């Protein structure tokens, strides 16, 4: 039996079809497979996109590696849940505005290179004026691995459909500091209670954050402790895979 098996392997190695199959198995890389992802605007057609990492208006100050087009991608499951969020909020007069969704690992690596260069502080005044880059890393605003690379995380805010303006969330996307925490300003995201303090953060700003948060949680997403704009699908389909294919329109 062993001899027959060895002969079969030798014969297969000589056949072109077998060699092609072997080569295909060797070159397949799951992290480069976008087949289970969709363009968010195909599922949520009225979502507004402002893909910050395709532009230079971000904490790095340059277009991030892997962002080849200003589009937003997610796994099918996450996009379907986001559609439910959108349908829910439209009834109340809001549209979703997306800053980032799927992020390739090469983009995260770009963040890490930035974090390790103490001389590059071009954007400090705009995104992390009170922190050092080490504190940015220690505070987990930047990490070696990101949920975004698993394909079911999204950074977003709300736009008032009547005015066309973003809701006042009391802080901007990618601001590194306590002001970005969902419970900033004596607000309790669990009970939705807010106590006004000497902080300039207002009850309206807290309320606006909770409108977004409540809708996201209601449709299967979970929040992050230090970023009011960041949500991940609870039952994400690829919890252990960090994808690396580029951000560009799928299905071209």
CA 148 to chain centre: 4
Residues 62-85 as b/e (b if ≥16 CB within 10 A, e otherwise) read ebbbbbeebbbbbbebbbbbbbeb
Burial of 15 (0-12, 13-18, 19+ CB in 10 A): exposed
**Active-site pick, 77, 179, 227, 236:** 227
Q: Is residue 227 among the annotated active site residues?
A: yes
User: Looking at residue 148, what DSSP letter applies?
Assistant: G
- Residue for token pair 């297969």: 12
Q: Where in the chain does DSSP place strands (E)?
A: 37-39, 48-49, 73-75, 94-100, 153-160, 187-188, 193-194, 221-224, 227-233
Which of the residues are catalytic? 227
């Amino acid at each position: 039996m062993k001899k027959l098996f060895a002969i079969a392997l030798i014969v297969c190695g000589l056949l072109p079809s077998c060699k092609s199959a072997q080569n295909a198995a060797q070159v397949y890389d799951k992290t480069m497979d976008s087949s289970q992802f969709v363009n968010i605007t195909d599922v949520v057609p009225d979502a507004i996109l402002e893909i910050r990492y395709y532009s230079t208006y971000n904490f790095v100050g340059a277009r991030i590696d892997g962002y080849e087009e200003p589009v937003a991608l997610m796994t099918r499951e996450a996009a379907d849940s986001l559609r439910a969020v959108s349908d829910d909020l439209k009834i109340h007069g809001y549209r979703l505005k997306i800053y980032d969704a799927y992020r390739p690992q090469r983009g995260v690596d770009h963040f890490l290179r930035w974090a390790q260069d103490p001389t590059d502080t071009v954007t400090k005044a705009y995104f992390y004026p009170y922190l050092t880059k080490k504190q940015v890393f220690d505070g987990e605003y930047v990490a070696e691995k990101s949920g975004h690379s698993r394909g079911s995380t999204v950074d977003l805010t709300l736009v008032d459909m009547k005015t066309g303006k973003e809701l006042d969330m009391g802080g901007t996307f990618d601001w590194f500091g306590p002001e970005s925490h969902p419970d900033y300003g004596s607000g309790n995201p669990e009970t939705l209670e807010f106590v006004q303090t000497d902080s300039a953060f207002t009850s309206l700003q807290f309320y606006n954050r909770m409108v977004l948060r409540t809708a996201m949680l209601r449709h299967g997403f979970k929040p992050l402790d230090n970023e009011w704009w960041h949500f991940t699908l609870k039952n994400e389909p690829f919890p252990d895979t960090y994808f690396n294919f580029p951000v560009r329109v799928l299905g071209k």
